[in-house]
Amino acid sequence: MPEFAFEKIVDANRDDVFEVFSNFENYQKLVPRHFPSIRIRSVRDSVAVVEEHLLLGDREFVIMAKHVSKKPLLHEVFVIGGDAKGSHIKQEFIDLENKTKVLIDVSLKFKGKMKISSMFGKSDFKADYGDVLDDFVKIAEN
């Protein structure tokens, strides 16, 4: 299954960047072309369970995700159900002078029809996920 990493330098302070990247409650408003639907199921301290409809390139995923935040250092997403169950996304936020370095590790796993189509499809999941990240960076810098 696809595994890849990104390093992004964002022209904004770490608290603001963390707020944009970890603000799953507003993904539908912030990046509707990637997250057309979000439904929060449970929030307890720094852990939330969220139903997400994710568009990644030409693929559509319906997932249940557990978001775990350690403000302002770390935001992790564990996919606990749906089309990409077992996937994991880790975002680390490193404070630089007037900027923030974001390190992103992505490990995607697919189930059922998604697994078969990902093996034979022509999707470039790294490029597609990079598009999502680029949108988050633009929002954080504005």
Write the pLDDT tens digit of every residue in 98-129: 999 999 999 999 876 555 445 445 568 999 99
Tell me 137's DSSP state: H
Q: What is the DSSP letter of 73?
A: T
Phi and psi (nearest 5°) for 140? -65, -35
Structural domains of the chain, with CATH: 3-141 (3.30.530.20)
Per residue in 24-48, pLDDT (tens digit) is 999 999 999 999 999 999 999 999 9
pLDDT by residue (tens digit) across 65-96?
Answer: 999 999 999 999 999 999 999 999 999 999 99
Is the whole model's pTM more than 0.85, yes or no?
yes
Task: State the pLDDT at residue 81.
Answer: 96
CA distances 40 to 54, 93, 98, Å, are 14, 24, 33
pLDDT of residue 123: 63
**Residue-level pLDDT at 111:** 72
Instruction: Determine the pLDDT at residue 116.
Output: 43
How many Å apart are CA 97 and CA 113, to the nearest integer?
A: 46
Q: Copy the structure tokens of residue 87.
A: 């996937």
